[in-house]
């Protein structure tokens, strides 16, 4: 009986050590987009958010040109769920990435324009990311283009 009391006291402590800690709610969004210049090695580096990644595969995917990154800027913003949205001038798509172990993993490729955007700008419009290209506005989520009721 004495051992049963000890067991009943010890078991809750053991089980509580097995549960994972969750801090919620959490908001991962960036208030404004970052415009990141791609260097001559193909690296995109943003000191403000301590972000760096190779942009070469992205430009190769979008343009088919292995040197398509030269003298280019990327537009990057992060939504409340932690997804990264990336595009650039003349891109036809917005790329949505999640974080992996030392990498960005493509989650969604959202086609925006057959001819490419000319001057894209990202804005936070919770729960969406707004993409403005001239007089056109798109409301994006990690699932694609969303309809926003006005």
| 64-80 pLDDT tens trace | 998 999 999 999 999 99
Task: Confirm whether 5 is domain-assigned.
Answer: no
CA angle 64, 70, 71 (to 5 degrees): 135
Model confidence pLDDT, tens digit, residues 18-47: 679 999 999 999 999 999 999 999 999 999
Percent of the chain with pLDDT over 90: 84
Of the pLDDT bands very low, low, confident and very high (cuts 50, 70, 90), residue 150 is very low
Task: Confirm whether 10 is domain-assigned.
Answer: no
Task: Confirm whether 12 is domain-assigned.
Answer: no
Which residues are CB-neighbours of 73 under 8 A, at least 6 positions away? Answer: 35, 36, 37, 38, 88, 89
Task: Confirm whether 15 is domain-assigned.
Answer: no
Distance, in Å, from the CA atom of 20 to the CA atom of 38, rounded to the nearest integer, reads: 39
Greatest alpha-carbon span in the chain: 78
Over 80: is that where the pLDDT of 13 sits? no
Q: Cα separations (Å) of 21 from 10, 11, 18?
A: 20, 18, 9
Q: How many domains does the chain have?
A: 1
Which residue segment(s) compose the domain that 54 sits in?
24-146
Task: Confirm whether 4 is domain-assigned.
Answer: no
Calculate the CA 111 to chain-centre distance: 16
């Amino acid at each position: 009986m004495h051992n049963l009391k000890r067991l009943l006291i010890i078991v809750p402590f053991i089980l509580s050590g097995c549960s994972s800690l969750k801090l919620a709610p959490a908001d991962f969004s960036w208030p404004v987009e970052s415009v990141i210049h791609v260097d001559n090695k193909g690296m995109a580096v943003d000191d403000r958010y301590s972000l760096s990644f190779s942009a070469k595969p992205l430009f190769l995917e979008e343009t088919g040109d292995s040197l398509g990154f030269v003298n280019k800027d990327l537009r990057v913003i992060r939504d409340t769920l932690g997804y990264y949205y990336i595009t650039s001038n003349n891109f036809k798509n917005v790329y949505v990435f999640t974080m992996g172990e030392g990498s960005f993993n493509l989650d969604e490729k959202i086609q925006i324009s057959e001819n490419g955007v000319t001057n894209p700008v990202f804005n936070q419009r919770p729960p969406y990311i707004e993409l403005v290209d001239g007089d056109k506005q798109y409301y994006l989520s990690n699932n694609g283009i969303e309809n926003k009721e006005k």
